[in-house]
Amino acid sequence: MHKYIILIFICLSNIMIAQIYTPIVDSISMRDGKKIAADIYLIDETTPRPTILIQTPYNRIFFRLNLPLVGHDIEDYGYNFVITDWRGFYGSSAANVPGYKRGLDGYDIIEWIAQQTWSNGKIGTYGGSALGKIQFETAKEQPPHLVCCLPLVANPQMTYLEYFPGGVYRTEYVEQLDNLGFGFSTWLLNNPYYNLQWQFVENNTFYPSSINVPFFIIGGWYDHTINEMLVFFNAMQEQSPLSSQHKLLMGPWVHGGHGTSQVGSCQQGELFFYNACNWNDSLSLRFFDYYLKNINNGWNDEPVIQYYQIGDNQWQQATHLSDIIIDTLKMFLNVNNSLTYTSPQVQSQYESFIYNPADPSPTHGGTTLRQDLLQGPYDQSQVVESRNDLLIFSSSTLDEPIRIFGRVKINLFVSSDCKDTDFAIRLCDVYPDNRSMLINDGIKRMRFRDGYTTSDTASMTEGVIYKIEITLPHTAYTFLAGHKIRIDISSSNYPKYDNNLNNGKQMYVAGDTIIATNNIYFETMHPSSISLPTIHANNINNFSSHAYETFIIYPNPTDNSFTISNFDQIKSIEVYDLMGKLYQLPQGENININHLENGIYLIKITNMYDDVMWKKLIKN
């Protein structure tokens, strides 16, 4: 309910400047005779046009205040929109049939649209999160008039590790899903171990070979779906019949759903990424124009993968994720709470901390979903690192950047005086002003140290040292010179993850809590370490000065013209507005923009090495 209150507040604030849409309200018959509620937005009822379909479980009526991508300028963009409530939700609540495949509804809706006089038979789909997930389910059914799909922060596969990373229940995530009406918690809590039911679910929600229309997948490095999404995109590139037509955009974005941080917003947590603002919408419209309107706008020549390297704050590109050559840089936990390139030389060395389940280390930002929690990168120094229930290990100040791409792995040697406990990691970037900005986090429940089936699990024995590995989510991050690399080690991160009661008994039921003394070892025989997937030197030239900082736009802001430094090294320049419209500009070193309206524009620069970089220009 909180989500809708927030949406109403945001949308009402726009009413003063834009009239509320009044759609055609209809119901569409499905193959089983049930009715799906639909809002239909038409430019006119006589001219056949392409249609963008959105299927939502979050109440279609909220789109009446503001359509995605086009806002209130539907006539300017030339698309009809059809927005439907999922079967079992809101206007379609009476259509609920337990276990019914929602992808079949997507098929029936698309084919119904194709038969209408206002449709030209070309339908694309759009939406994020659950609205993205159902696009995969619809595409799997292969409706003949589906042309392309654009899911944001979404993937189709439901995996055990999505809900139990490291064997630990994702408390706030599932609570929010329950609040939104999905009701997963009962089944999840009845299946806390990997079993045949999980195997069936994972196999039946993984179908890359069934995707036979182009997908443009948009994700964010601060989004909780990142791991499963990248796995599925890789599989689509290998197994889909249209493997060469799928594209991926990875920005410095959160999952969204509430607050100021959304996919494409300039602010993400406590950081700002101005050259990533709204770029998702710009590319989305180009994608739809290319496939639904047959406009030759160069979409097919866009990089297959565009990703944002946080820290450098640059857009990079690749054809396959595997093209990004990775080395491994290992750093060791060492004396004086340091991270060093040399392994420990001390025979006996460890540090201890106390974990009290009644007073857990608090979640402060990160890949959260619940409405009352912060999303994205936040400074951990005051809320988390000021407590006495964790250990902090930091590198020395970096003399040069360290660029990582992939999944950081932490190998710890640990012990405890309890039969079961958790070890939680937060990976942080320490700024010169001592802010400790969260990059991502992970956790491991000790009973699952050898695997996730019931036969894998075992209690701990006091005094025994165990080796565990915690693998963090994917990221693309640069620790800049003058910064430090840091890991925070605790035994909780609540309410993101369930609190371990430390009693070694049945999980997720009430019981006695035990205060644990947990130990981290960093000695000759037990060298705890962190493995960083660093970008190979062959890829580093993509971040060098010739690829980015050489080109400076000035004056910026400007009121009539601009110039770009080192103009003789530029192969081409293109200027787009935030909605992705390409403007024809006069050629030459001094570029006149008197004819453009005031606002923000994105400048696409291709240099002589065919590196592509984006700059922002403000016209006032």
Q: What is the pLDDT of residue 601?
A: 84
Does position 205 have pLDDT exceeding 80, yes or no? yes
> Does one domain contain both 302 and 389?
no
What CATH number is associated with residue 303?
A: 3.40.50.1820
Q: What is the pLDDT of residue 405?
A: 97
> Does one domain contain both 507 and 593?
no
Asked if 461 contacts 446 with a C-beta cutoff of 8 angstroms, the reply is no
> Does one domain contain both 97 and 151?
yes
> Does one domain contain both 577 and 461?
no
Residue 165 placed within a domain? no
For the ranges 161-175, 210-224, 524-538, 599-613, the lowest mean pLDDT is seen at 599-613
Does position 602 have pLDDT exceeding 60, yes or no? yes
In angstroms, rounded to a whole number, what is the distance separating the alpha carbons of residues 132 and 152?
Answer: 6
- Bridge partners (DSSP) of residue 350 are 521
Residue 12 confidence class, pLDDT cut points 50, 70, 90? very low
Residue 501 placed within a domain? yes
Asked if 497 contacts 370 with a C-beta cutoff of 8 angstroms, the reply is no
> Does one domain contain both 526 and 452?
yes
Residue 600 confidence class, pLDDT cut points 50, 70, 90? confident
Q: What percent of the chain has pLDDT over 90?
A: 79
Residue 167 placed within a domain? no
Does position 81 have pLDDT exceeding 60, yes or no? yes
Residue 183 placed within a domain? no
| pLDDT tens digits for range 335-353 | 999 999 999 999 999 999 9
Q: Over range 505-524, report the average pLDDT.
A: 96
Selection from 229, 235, 303, 206 nearest residue 474 by Cα: 229
Does position 538 have pLDDT exceeding 90, yes or no? no
| pLDDT tens digits for range 89-103 | 999 999 999 999 999
The residue behind tokens 């160069």 is 298
A 10 A CB-CB count for 331 gives 20
What CATH number is associated with residue 399?
A: 2.60.120.260
Structural domain of 580: 544-619
> Does one domain contain both 469 and 587?
no
Does position 184 have pLDDT exceeding 90, yes or no? yes
Q: Over range 216-224, report the average pLDDT.
A: 98
Q: Which of these three, 322, 346, 365, is where a domain ends?
A: 322
Q: Which of these three, 507, 536, 565, is where a domain ends?
A: 536
Residue 60 placed within a domain? yes
Does position 391 have pLDDT exceeding 90, yes or no? yes
Does position 548 have pLDDT exceeding 70, yes or no? no
3-class DSSP assignment, residue 198? helix
In angstroms, rounded to a whole number, what is the distance separating the alpha carbons of residues 77 and 95?
Answer: 33
Residue 542 confidence class, pLDDT cut points 50, 70, 90? low
In angstroms, rounded to a whole number, what is the distance separating the alpha carbons of residues 221 and 309?
Answer: 9
Residue 168 placed within a domain? no
Cα-based angle 166, 172, 174 (whole degrees, multiple of 5): 80
| pLDDT tens digits for range 130-142 | 999 999 999 999 9
Does position 383 have pLDDT exceeding 80, yes or no? yes
Cα-based angle 145, 146, 151 (whole degrees, multiple of 5): 165
> Does one domain contain both 427 and 443?
yes
- pLDDT: which is higher, 371 or 585: 371
Residue 198 placed within a domain? no
Selection from 108, 125, 109, 8 nearest residue 58 by Cα: 8
For the ranges 320-324, 501-505, 567-571, the lowest mean pLDDT is seen at 567-571
**Identity (one letter) of the amino acid at 237?**
Q
Residue 481 confidence class, pLDDT cut points 50, 70, 90? very high
| CA 452 to the chain's CA centroid | 25
Q: What percent of the chain has pLDDT over 70?
A: 94
Q: Which of these three, 483, 515, 536, is where a domain ends?
A: 536
Does position 9 have pLDDT exceeding 60, yes or no? no
What CATH number is associated with residue 578?
A: 2.60.40
| pLDDT tens digits for range 429-471 | 999 999 999 999 999 999 999 999 999 999 999 999 999 999 9
Extended beta strands in 21-145, E state: 24-29, 35-41, 49-56, 80-85, 119-128
In angstroms, rounded to a whole number, what is the distance separating the alpha carbons of residues 166 and 157?
Answer: 18
Selection from 354, 370, 350, 309 nearest residue 494 by Cα: 370
> Does one domain contain both 102 and 232?
yes
> Does one domain contain both 113 and 258?
yes
Strands 80-85 and 49-56: parallel
Asked if 417 contacts 462 with a C-beta cutoff of 8 angstroms, the reply is yes
Residue 506 placed within a domain? yes
> Does one domain contain both 370 and 295?
no
Q: Which two tokens stand for residue 69?
A: 């991508």
Asked if 77 contacts 201 with a C-beta cutoff of 8 angstroms, the reply is no
Residue 560 confidence class, pLDDT cut points 50, 70, 90? confident
Asked if 494 contacts 360 with a C-beta cutoff of 8 angstroms, the reply is yes
| pLDDT tens digits for range 239-298 | 999 999 999 999 999 999 998 999 999 999 999 998 888 889 989 999 999 999 999 988
The domain tally of the chain equals 3
Q: What is the pLDDT of residue 401?
A: 96
Residue 72 confidence class, pLDDT cut points 50, 70, 90? confident
Does position 18 have pLDDT exceeding 60, yes or no? no
Mean model confidence pLDDT for the chain: 92
End-to-end CA distance of the chain: 40
Q: Over range 413-442, report the average pLDDT.
A: 98
> Does one domain contain both 318 and 330?
no
Asked if 217 contacts 208 with a C-beta cutoff of 8 angstroms, the reply is no
Q: Over range 542-559, report the average pLDDT.
A: 65
Strands 599-607 and 570-577: antiparallel
In angstroms, rounded to a whole number, what is the distance separating the alpha carbons of residues 513 and 224?
Answer: 29
Does position 540 have pLDDT exceeding 60, yes or no? no
Predicted model pTM: 0.88
Q: Over range 564-576, report the average pLDDT.
A: 84
> Does one domain contain both 555 and 579?
yes
